[in-house]
Amino acid sequence: MLWIKKHNTSKGISQGIWYESDE
């Protein structure tokens, strides 16, 4: 399990979100 920083631009604003990934 790794913590990956994903960018969410759905609102036009780049936000770094940490989420769990099995990769």
Q: Which residues have a Cβ under 8 Å from the Cβ of 1 and sit 6 or more positions away?
A: 20, 21, 22
Compute the distance between CA of residue 12 and CA of residue 4 in angstroms, rounded to an integer.
21
Q: What is the pLDDT of residue 11?
A: 57
pTM above 0.85, yes or no: no
Compute the distance between CA of residue 16 and CA of residue 8 in angstroms, rounded to an integer.
7
Q: What is the pLDDT of residue 10?
A: 56
1-23 tens-digit pLDDT? 466 666 555 555 545 666 666 65
